[in-house]
Structure 1
Amino acid sequence: MSVVPTHALILAAGRGERMRPLTDVTPKPLLEAGGKRLIEWQIEALVAAGIRHIVINVAHLPDQFEAALGDGKRYGVALHYSREGNEAADALETLGGIVKALPSLGQAPFIVTSGDIVTDYSYRMLSSASKALQEGTFDAHMVLVENPAFHSGGDMALVEHGELRRIDPDATPRLTYANIGIFSPHLFTPLTRELAGRRAPLFPWIYTAARANRVGGEHYGGRWWNAGTPDDLAQLDAELDRGLDCAIDQPHP
Structure 2
Amino acid sequence: MKAMILAAGRGQRLRPDTDHTPKPLLPIAGEPLITHHLRKLAASGCRDVVINTGWLGAQLPAALGDGAAWGVRIHYSPEGWPALETGGGIRRALPLLGADPFLLINGDVWTDADYAQLLGRPLAAEDHAHLWLVDNPKGHTAGDFAVVEGRLCNTGSRKTYSGVALLRPALLAGAPEGGFPLAPWLRKAADANRASAALLPGRWCDVGTPERRAALETALLAP
TM-score normalised per structure 2: 0.96
Matching residue of 1:132: 123
1: CA distance between counterparts of 2:6 and 2:139?
20
Alignment check: 8 A CA contact 2:55 2:83 kept: yes
Matching residue of 2:25: 30
Q: Residues 77-104 of structure 1, C-alpha deviation per residue, up to 9 Å, x if partnerless?
A: 110111111x3xx111111011000000
C-alpha spacing 1:74/1:128, structure 2 compared with 1 (3 Å): closer
2: CA distance between counterparts of 1:48 and 1:200?
32
SS at the partner of 1:208? helix
1:61 aligns with 2:56: yes
1:178 aligns with 2:149: no
2: CA distance between counterparts of 1:50 and 1:115?
19
Alignment check: 8 A CA contact 1:22 1:230 kept: no
Q: Residues 69-128 of structure 1, C-alpha deviation per residue, up to 9 Å, x if partnerless?
A: 00111111110111111x3xx111111011000000022110100112111111111145
Matching residue of 1:43: 38
Question: Structure 1 regions of 5+ residues with no counterpart?
Answer: 1-5, 244-253
Question: Structure 2 regions of 5+ residues with no counterpart?
Answer: none
Alignment check: 8 A CA contact 1:146 1:221 kept: no
SS at the partner of 2:40? helix
C-alpha spacing 1:78/1:128, structure 2 compared with 1 (3 Å): closer
The residue identity in structure 1 corresponding to 2:20 is V
Paired residues for 1:1-253 under 5 Å: 6-85=1-80, 87=81, 90-127=82-119, 129=121, 131-133=122-124, 136-160=125-149, 165-171=150-156, 173-191=157-175, 195-196=176-177, 198-243=178-223
Runs of 4+ in structure 1 over 2 Å off: 186-191
Alignment check: 8 A CA contact 2:48 2:73 kept: yes
1: CA distance between counterparts of 2:77 and 2:119?
25
TM-score normalised per structure 1: 0.85
Report the alpha carbon displacement of residue 221 of structure 1 after superposing the two structures with TM: 4.9
SS at the partner of 1:204? helix
2: CA distance between counterparts of 1:43 and 1:114?
12
1: CA distance between counterparts of 2:220 and 2:30?
8
How many residue pairs align between the two structures? 223
Report percent identity of matched pairs.
45
Report the alpha carbon displacement of residue 187 of structure 1 after superposing the two structures with TM: 2.2
Alignment check: 8 A CA contact 2:6 2:106 kept: yes
2: CA distance between counterparts of 1:232 and 1:207?
28
SS at the partner of 1:228? coil
Report the alpha carbon displacement of residue 137 of structure 1 after superposing the two structures with TM: 3.6
Q: Once superposed, what is the RMSD of the aligned Cα atoms?
A: 1.3
2: CA distance between counterparts of 1:116 and 1:227?
5
